[in-house]
Amino acid sequence: MNATYGSLIQMYGARNYAWGISFVSLVVGLALDGEALVGANYDPMCNEMFHAERGKGAFLNDDPIHVSDRPNLSKSMVGFDLSYAGGDGASNGLQVIQAMLNDVGSTRTWGRRRWEYPTPPLGGTTYTSTTDWNPGTRWRLLLIEEAGGVVTDRAGNRAGLFSDGIIASSAGLHAEFMRRTEGMAWRNPTHRTV
């Protein structure tokens, strides 16, 4: 059997750290043939570690976590990342925010990857990202899937390492988000997807 293993050790929040903002985390993960097997995201400032293993669930420190059972976006927070949007990406993302602003519980642009992906398993958040090609993403997609969530690209296909735009949430909130963004420019791919 010819298998390809990959590992990742990375610091997130380097840009924050460079500006003197102490929002950082350390990420470690292991993948086999492009599929995440295990990963952890440690926030030394809060002493919190999110971790997941394929088929074994998702955890915050020692406590199991699960995506929210909130029934709709009007009772949920929607998080966005516009930081890596090139071309019209940021304005297209802002179109989504503007269209939903008065019909969701709240919106956020985190600017802190430590929080972007762990928040769907912690409760009522749908997370969307303009582009997320960073290698640390793969394990964080595992975290959400192991917490019972759905993670897709803009077209609704299961997200992968090079997916263009990430939507992550519970199945019900994900379906509502996809319906509400149908036809918006944000849903158009901005780069090659795998």
Encode the chain (194 residues) as per-residue pLDDT tens digits. 566 666 666 767 777 778 887 777 888 888 887 778 898 988 888 898 989 999 999 999 999 998 888 888 888 888 777 655 566 767 787 888 888 888 888 777 765 554 455 555 555 555 555 454 455 566 778 888 999 999 888 889 998 766 777 888 889 889 998 999 899 988 887 654 44
Quote the CA–CA distance of 133 and 100 in Å, as a whole number: 25
Amino acid at 102: N
Q: Where are the alpha helices (DSSP H) in the chain?
A: 14-18, 89-100, 113-116, 119-122, 137-146, 171-181
pLDDT score of 182 = 92
pLDDT (0 to 100) of residue 52: 94
Supply the pLDDT for residue 22: 74
Phi, psi of 152 (to 5 degrees): -130, 170
Query: In this predicted structure, what is the pLDDT of residue 64?
Result: 94
Write out pLDDT tens, residues 36-53. Answer: 889 898 888 889 898 999
137, with CB counted inside 10 A (0-12, 13-18, 19+), is buried
* Domains and their CATH numbers in the chain: 5-64 (3.30.540.10), 73-187 (3.40.190.80)
pLDDT digits (tens, 9 = 90+) for 5-41: 666 667 677 777 788 877 778 888 888 877 788 989 8
| Spatial CA neighbour of 164 closest among 186, 182, 149 | 186
User: What is the structure's pLDDT at 6?
Assistant: 63
**What's the pLDDT at 193?**
44
**β 106-109/77-81 pair status:** parallel
Angle in degrees, CA 138, 144, 145, rounded to 5? 85
CB 151 within 8 A of CB 159: yes
CA distances from 125 to 3, 7, 18, 31, 45 (A): 36, 28, 28, 26, 22
User: DSSP assignment, residue 47?
Assistant: T
67 in Cβ contact with 147 (< 8 Å)? yes
Please indicate, yes or no, whether the overall pTM of this predicted structure exceeds 0.85: no
pLDDT recorded at residue 32? 80
pLDDT attached to residue 133: 47
